[in-house]
Amino acid sequence: VAVAIKVTTPRLSVLYPWKVIGLKGRPFTGYKFTTMTADADERLDELRTKNEMFGPVFKVKDDPRVTPLGRLLRKYSLNELPQLWSVLKGDMSLVGPRPAFRHELERYELWQKRKLCVKPGITCLWQVSGRNRISKFDDWVQLDLQYIDQWSLWLDVRILARTARAVIAASSSSISARRMSTASRIWSASAVSITSEEVSPRWMKRLSGPILAATDSKKAVTSWRVRLNASCHRPISNWA
């Protein structure tokens, strides 16, 4: 993969440093194989009007910043392979919610930050539940919280198996809804809708373990801190 990147795009570095926020708000730098042009970050603002995701994250189909080789790597998820180093370092796990960029975390609602109570993962329930069909960040986070609340080793095994199947098929979006994991089916039937206005002060007092507040990278972390309950596997409806 590294040789292919250098041959097709000699001016690009092989690895892209991924500066994100992980467990309990701890920042870390992960790595992916480079799949975008050198000016990808600078071109983000001009593409925001084409964002297909409602919420703080950016997602657009056929992103013009992706290189031809990058499209191939993404199709087979090969660009994710360097993240195994983050797993070995303990910053990530194989399965878990996707980590957040700092500028995304600034726009998270309070209830959405609960996804940071576990280590982020390379793959997650959202990815194997038809990620290209999900256009609302709230729905994405609900899947993450459902994974947390319904966690089991067997669920991790099923998610990893479905991820491998999607990579082999080179189409994670084609996974049938009727073959979604048990946790996903439970979420679709009985997910709890909760907003920041519904979070009571009593809930705040029962939390433990710091999470970084939404802050700009140039500002000190002084606005406020959220504490997450050490037992994250409780249904979100019991947290109020």
Contacts of the segment 191-200: beta carbons below 8 A, 24+ positions apart: 191/142, 191/146, 192/235, 192/236, 192/237, 194/111, 194/236, 194/237, 194/240, 195/109, 195/111, 196/109, 196/110, 196/111, 198/111, 198/240, 199/110, 199/111, 199/239, 199/240, 200/240
pLDDT top residue among 112 and 216: 112
pLDDT value for 127: 81
pLDDT value for 224: 32
Lowest mean pLDDT segment, chosen from 15-29, 91-105, 135-149, 175-189 = 175-189
pLDDT above 70: percentage of residues in the chain: 69
pLDDT value for 166: 78
